[in-house]
Chains A and B, each alone.
Chain A
Amino acid sequence: MNGEPGAVLECREVHKSFGPRAPALAGVSLAVPAGRLSALIGPDGAGKTTLMRLACGLLRAERGTLRVLGFDPAVAALRIQERVSYMPQKFGLYEDLTVRENLDLYADLHGVSADARAQRYPQLLHMTDLARFERRLAGRLSGGMKQKLGLACTLVGSPQLLLLDEPTVGVDPLSRRELWQIVSHLVREQGLTVLLSTAYLDEAERADRVIVLQAGRVLAEDVPLGIIRLAAGRTFKLTPAAPENARRLQARLLASSAVIDAVPDAGAVRCVCAQADGPPAAGLTAVAPRFEDGFMVLLRRSHAPEALTDIVLSNPPAPSSGAVIEVRDLVKRFGAFTAVDRVSFSVSQGEIFGLLGPNGAGKTTTFRMLCGLLAPSGGVLRVGGVDVARAGDAARGQLGYVAQKFSLYGPLNVRENLEFFASAYGLRGARRRERIDWAMRQFDLTRTAGAAADLPGGFKQRLAMAAALLHEPRILFLDEPTSGADALARRAFWRRISALADQGVTVVVTTHFMPEAEYCDHIVIMDSGRVLAQGTPAQVRSLAPRQGELEPTMEDAFIAVVERSRAAEAAAAGAG
């Protein structure tokens, strides 16, 4: 065997590009140590998937050397494929096969003997809690169960290396936590080597080692504590004094050159300072640094802060009292399946309202009904004082909608996309030109050329938002706008959203990224089509049990309410 002893996967100066775009990997060197859990961390487009695919011989590097278990994937892919297991992003399950049949398939392909199966299946099924569903079709499992079945399938062949590509994306926090527990257990008890990629920074702390990938380059390779220490002595917390809210305080802090990063956190604002020489202002209390803080310090070393100017609307919506959006007992059924089950909430003007929940919770369905894209099966739905079901078009004129994945026209450039959307909204002549100029200026799109499909994610997000605001809507809907976005793009996005809300635009946003709830004025947590909790972020957070000094996070709250609701359901089923 070649390579450094102890390194199961080694890359040296690996390059890989697809077409004319920026390379997916631009000189990546890293080593994954044996018997450890390594996390590959980075936003969408950082090159995580490409790296995994190169490692299992599914793609070929242009330059550089790769060694996986001592083999070169370019010439001995099969040797590697016999020894590693890989879970691709969509889990690689056959949805029309049952849980057991999926397991059998991968056991057969890996040549697992009947004896070994008899020993391993009960373990795997117990560990993933899938024993009850052995005969269920994989397609009928929830996202979290699919993810665990995918993991079980990768484990039947007793791999020497486990590669998991974003196993936790879009899955509810409860399932995410369970997956991490299973994987950590395997690493500790059985000495398995795991490389897991994720876009969630908070997950990194649970790994033994982290590799931070950004735009095809390795920013850092360290133990999590090494990254956290980068922010040592620089993290503080500041509570806003009324009437200022956390969002405005955050914006004010970010404007200062002494501050690298600021995020709303449990009603206060956490900030990371540029220098580690004590609190830069009065009222700041020191807090322990987190992984994300260290990550931001790291990022700032290579990325100059974006000069952000807040968006200024030319005609802010006139103030109005009462609810802008009113939802009562909203129901949506697809056949026998109830996607949205008696959901009620209301949103007032200038509010940022968050719909939170994992994939399949019913967020997008609720959203589509709010926008008049889907007829409800029951309940009341008033947007801007208009019944959406009856007067779809009248309601739609006051709405701006940013769909998941942005629905831009890939082959058109920035201006052409804006021109198209302007025409679609019925803008003509001088007014159209004026609005497009406004959008290009406000969203800093003037310097971007080329087709929208080739723009980086952050630009697409800006362009999509600009397009949705062309007709000066009073209400802006955004469906998973930050999914896969990097930390910087995420912060820029929320800054823009805050500016819009301050000028009277009502914003409704969905996300499965729980910490983002802190940016919202009110949130609703959904799971399996039902509202489990709603209120201000602080109210929702308080639903989680307090653990000592630590303030419970939004994720803790989510897990607490889901567990409580499932326990109540089980009790009701037991009583009935």
Chain B
Amino acid sequence: MAARAMSDGRARLARVRTLVLKEWRQMIRDPASIAIGVVLPVILILLFGYGLSLDVKNVPLAVLDQDGSSLASGLIGDLRLSPYFKPYSVTSLHSAERLLAAARVEGILTVPPNFAREARTGTAAVQLIVSGADANTARIMEAYVSGAVAGWAAREAPALAGPVGVQSRLWFNAANDSRYFLVPGLIVLVMTLIGAFLTAMVVAREWERGTFEALFVTPVRAEEILLGKTIPYFALGMVGLALCVLSGRFLFHVPLRGSLLVLLAVSMLYVLVALAIGLLISSAVKNQLVASQLTLIVTFMPATMLSGLLFDLRSMPAAIRAITYVLPARYYVTLLQTIFLAGDIWTVIVPNALALLAMLALFALALRAVTRKRLA
């Protein structure tokens, strides 16, 4: 019996190793796993990186010159030379508005009548109307137009009595107040998909195909099955993390102000929480379709909508803000935004990491309680 007890630990290790190997083989042979673990991060990176790019270039802009002075055409000529704009001359505000509504142009720059005269008295201003549909582009356009006008005014200074103002108005999304952080957003989405969604799917698949039934009737322990599922998907999560961080750093030059080690530590914590949620869901729902729907609703959607990733937590109604406290993604988003954009601010990192740790402990206990080698 003693020899048996001694070799017991080794037998357990061997079983976990074989389960991990099996899972790994299935993972690399299953197009869906690769799609979610590797292809999806890449697509999200390209989509977020280039589709919602921070760079604004060749923005179509309708230009309405109501003044017609040489001063006004000088300003418009400057914009024409800028790499950031592609001005279209229009003859009436009405046609400019039509172009804006049809999204043919992103903004309307109006040089008002009497521009040249007012410039000499120092009260001149141009009017900018920007489409707010893409808040990010809108904000950047405002800055670029202001910059271009200021640059022009500086060069024309001898002829002007003072600076030229830009009166800007945001159309279509006037109250826009969202923040947008490329890399943190990506990491949260990818970690959530790999941790919760993929895991819930592969466990449900084992139920559906009846493979768990055969696996259960072997000396394997329930916790070994859990470990066998956790380790490979944890590793895949780390691959996704690396892809996001590297592309953020080298493709889009996003700064990482905090330390890589802290980033890694909190990401590991979050992946484990997501894994635990995925495993819990699939222990209750033994069907791939329902498991995927449920995981998306319980983890992915809130991670997108309620974590502070897309919508500012402070601008949410109090009741909804209260809900966000039970979402692990909320803490992770805060952690990521802090580590990437502010640095290792311990007063933020410690409480948020502790919240994730508490959740992990809770879910792990729940998981241990519900995991049995039983069918019903």
A-to-B contact residues, CB < 8 Å: 18, 53, 56-60, 77-78, 81-82, 84-97, 101, 104-106, 108-111, 137, 150, 153-154, 157, 163
Contacts and interface: CB of A to CB of B under 8 A. Distances in A.
B14 A111 contact: yes
B109 to A, nearest CB: 56
A84 B217 CA distance: 7
Interface stretch (B18-26, B37-45, B285-293, B337-345): B18-26
Interface string B18-36: 1100100110011000000
Contacts of B220: 81, 109
Contacts of A90: 209-211, 213
Contact of B25 (A84, A86, A97): A97
B195 to A, nearest CB: 21
24 contacts: A18-B376, A57-B374, A59-B374, A59-B376, A60-B374, A78-B221, A81-B216, A81-B218, A84-B217, A85-B217, A91-B210, A92-B211, A92-B215, A94-B26, A94-B211, A97-B26, A101-B22, A104-B18, A105-B18, A108-B17, A109-B220, A110-B218, A111-B15, A137-B29
B232 to A, nearest CB: 14
Contacts of A157: 218
A58 B214 CA distance: 10
Contacts of A105: 18, 22
A14 to B, nearest CB: 16
B261 interface: no
B290 to A, nearest CB: 16
B18 A56 contact: no
A225 to B, nearest CB: 32
Interface in B327-376: 373-376
A60 B373 CA distance: 11
A86 B210 CA distance: 12
A511 B374 CA distance: 34
B214 A87 contact: yes
Nearest to B218: A109
Given A81-B373, A96-B30, A58 B22 contact: no
A89 B17 CA distance: 27
Nearest to A157: B218
Given A92-B210, A92-B211, A59 B375 contact: yes
A111 B12 CA distance: 9
B202 to A, nearest CB: 11
A59 B29 CA distance: 32
A96 B217 contact: no
Given A87-B214, A109-B15, A96 B25 contact: yes
B11 to A, nearest CB: 5
Contacts of A94: 22, 26, 211
Contacts of B216: 56, 58, 81
Complex A-B, nearest 3 residue pairs according to Cβ-Cβ distance, in ascending order: A92-B214, A108-B18, A90-B210
A210 to B, nearest CB: 23
Contacts of B25: 96-97, 101
Contacts of A106: 214, 218
Contacts of A96: 25-26, 29-30
B373 A111 contact: no
A109 B11 CA distance: 9
B209 A109 contact: no
A206 B216 CA distance: 29
Contacts of B221: 78
B219 interface: yes
A512 to B, nearest CB: 20
Interface string B194-219: 00000000000000011101111111
Contacts of B30: 96
B375 A53 contact: yes
B18 A86 contact: no
A3 B197 CA distance: 47
Interface centre among B19, B25, B214, B374 (most CB of A within 10 A): B214
Nearest to B22: A105
Nearest to B11: A111
Interface string B218-250: 111100000000000000000000000000000
Contacts of B26: 94, 96-97
Interface centre among B14, B220, B221 (most CB of A within 10 A): B220
Given A60-B374, A87-B214, A90-B210, A110 B29 contact: no
Nearest to B216: A58
Interface string B278-303: 00000000000000000000000000
A78 B221 CA distance: 8
A110 B25 CA distance: 20
A108 B16 CA distance: 10
A114 to B, nearest CB: 12
Contacts of B375: 53, 58-59
Nearest to A98: B25
A341 to B, nearest CB: 28
Contacts of A150: 214
Interface centre among B15, B213, B219 (most CB of A within 10 A): B213
A58 B373 contact: yes
Contact of B373 (A77, A82, A84): A77
Contacts of B15: 108-109, 111
Given A58-B217, A92-B210, A94-B26, A108 B14 contact: yes
Interface string B39-58: 00000000000000000000
B218 A58 contact: no
Nearest to A104: B18
Contacts of A81: 216-220, 373
Contact of B219 (A82, A92, A97, A137): A82
A90 B375 CA distance: 15
Interface centre among B30, B213, B217 (most CB of A within 10 A): B217
Contact of B215 (A84, A91, A101, A109): A109
Nearest to A105: B22
Contacts of A104: 18
B17 to A, nearest CB: 8
B137 to A, nearest CB: 44
Given A97-B26, A105-B18, A111 B219 contact: yes
Contacts of A86: 213-214, 217
Interface centre among B15, B17, B216 (most CB of A within 10 A): B216
A88 B218 contact: no
A96 B14 CA distance: 21
B265 to A, nearest CB: 33
B221 to A, nearest CB: 7
A104 B216 CA distance: 16
B218 to A, nearest CB: 4
Nearest to A57: B373
Nearest to A165: B213
B15 to A, nearest CB: 6
B206 to A, nearest CB: 9
Contacts of B29: 96, 137
A451 B165 CA distance: 75
A124 B373 CA distance: 28
Interface centre among B30, B213, B215, B218 (most CB of A within 10 A): B218
Nearest to B26: A96
A52 to B, nearest CB: 10
B374 A89 contact: no
A88 B11 contact: no
